[in-house]
Amino acid sequence: MYKLTEEGKKYLDEGLPEKNLLEILKKGKTTTEELKEKMQNPAVAINWARKQGWIKIKQGEIQVDKEPKEYPQQISLQKISKGEDLTKQKTEELLKRGLIEEIREDIVKQAQKQLEKEKINNLTPELIQTGLWKKANIKKYNIEAVGKKKYPGKKHVLSYYIEKVRKVFLEMGFEEEEGSYVESSFWNFDALYTPQDHPAREMHDTFFLKKPRKTKMKNKELVKRVKKIHEQGNNESKGWGYNWSEEEAQKLVMRTHTTPVTVRKLQEIEPPAKVFSVGRVFRNETLDYSHLPEFTQIEGIVASEKVNFKNLLGYLKEFYSKMGFEEVRFRPGYFPYTEMSVEPEVYVKEKDEWLELGGAGIFRPEVTEPMGIKEPVLAWGLGLERLAMMHLDLKDIRNFYYKNDLSLLREAKINI
């Protein structure tokens, strides 16, 4: 069997060059130079037309000498495209000209064998190459049938939300900062003016490392300033009034929040500055539908002499608005290291309820002064999993990590 080459297909669609040449000459004589502007491959057209005795060239002009009634090779191309046979002579003419090519005998046999089937479910390469698919009794496809679902690899749903959070803060002009999962109690608690007898520092809230158990405090001057703040306070407070222990501050913990990341940054920044972080935190919580021993926290600070409490509410409202929550409200809160303090809430229309998503406030001078910052510092720590739960309409926070529910990864509609 034979099939058209790419050049053969082109000539079948556009006509043989010699045929197109005669169509041009019917309108009048032309020169070889003029012909270059009127058609492609004029040399090929002239060569084949002269072989057939259809044209003559006189004094540089090309004219029709004998107009054919038909174009045999054009007809041959049409027959080949339909899978019809040609005479040996006509076949050899097209082969020499490179307009057809031979299909291997084994491919032809395979295609003919497939034609013997009562119904053909799939088009095979052999049927397509030989063109015999045109003669095949192909089974009709039910275009309404439900196909087998495929589940390609994809990111975890929380990864989408983390990327969205990063994008929002970067758009708002923040700089991203990262920190270690393991922190000293100094940075996790003491630098945040959390007293050493605070309940949050006890074993039932914090994971303490067994080995290594402690770390060395390198910045001795900073340690002295924090110690003084805890014991004596400053011009605006009396401190906590106890004997602060450096040994207690040296204990290593799994960080209970990402605030140490931004507090560490206070030593380096020169206001005005805006910093955020997104990272995993760890707390010794009882695992249930609304609590996890590890989760993701969104942290941010804005340090500037021009910011105030209204700016804090504005930043939070803008953030939640960009995350898809139109209604945001705030209620008073308390944290050892901020004053004034608030807890932002967003309205979930589908559930007709307000949901609290974190804490925020202005860092107390007891936090910022030891770091060398005199300007106001807005700060917040927000939960990511609860935010994602509302978008995905989940009722159990354990779905993200512990239930191994593949349907969540496969079918969750990320709407942010």
CA distance linking residue 337 with residue 108, whole number of Å? 83
DSSP 263-307: HHHTTT--SSEEEEEEEEEE--PPPBTTB-SEEEEEEEEEE-TT-
| Percent of all residues in the chain with a pLDDT value above 70, rounded to a whole number | 100
Closest CA to 377 of 299, 266, 260, 222: 266
Q: Is the peptide bond preceding residue 152 cis, with omega within 30 degrees of 0?
A: no
HSE on the CB side for 48, CA within 13 Å? Answer: 19
> Is the model's pLDDT at 61 over the cut of 90?
no
Coil vs helix vs strand at 73 = helix
Q: What is the DSSP letter of 381?
A: E
Query: In the structure, what pLDDT confidence band is assigned to residue 151 with cuts at 50, 70 and 90?
Result: confident
Residue-wise pLDDT for 367-412, tens only, equals 999 999 999 999 999 989 888 888 888 888 888 887 777 888 888 7
SS (H, E, C) 118-131: CCECCCCHHHHHHC
pLDDT band at 416 (very low <50, low <70, confident <90, very high): low
Model pTM score: 0.65
What pLDDT, in 10s, does the model give residues 160-177? Answer: 999 999 999 999 999 999
Helix or strand run (H / E) with residue 386 = helix 385-392
Architecture of domain 157-181+227-233+255-411: 2-Layer Sandwich (3.30)
Query: What's the Rg (C-alpha) of the chain?
Result: 40
Task: Indicate the SS3 state at residue 91.
Answer: helix
User: pLDDT tens, 25-41?
Assistant: 888 888 878 888 888 87
What pLDDT score was predicted for residue 297? 94
Q: What is the pLDDT of residues 64-103, one digit of tens each?
A: 888 888 888 899 889 888 878 889 898 888 888 888 888 7
Quote the DSSP letter at residue 188: H
113: buried, middle or exposed (CB in 10 Å: 19+, 13-18, 0-12)?
Answer: exposed
Measure the CA dihedral 253/259/262/266, to 10°. -90
The structure tokens listed for 179 are 């920190």
Return the H-helix or E-strand segment holding 309: helix 309-322
Closest CA to 187 of 302, 357, 337, 292: 337
Q: Partners of 341 in the beta sheet?
A: 361
Sign, CA dihedral 7-13-17-19, equals: positive
Report yes or no: 111 and 130 within 8 Å, Cβ to Cβ.
yes
Residue 178 above 90 pLDDT?
Answer: yes
In the predicted model, what is the mean pLDDT of residues 344-372? 89
Average pLDDT of the chain, as a whole number: 88
**Contact yes or no for 55/65 (Cβ under 8 A):** yes
Per-residue pLDDT of 257-276, as tens digits, reads: 999 999 999 999 999 999 99
Query: For 175-184, what is the mean pLDDT?
Result: 95
Q: Where are the alpha helices (DSSP H) in 98-242?
A: 105-115, 125-130, 157-171, 185-188, 220-232
* Vertex 52 angle, CA 49 and 57, to 5°: 50
Domain boundaries, the chain: 2-135, 157-181+227-233+255-411
Tell me the C-alpha distance between 49 and 209, whole Å: 93
Q: What is the pLDDT of residue 302?
A: 97
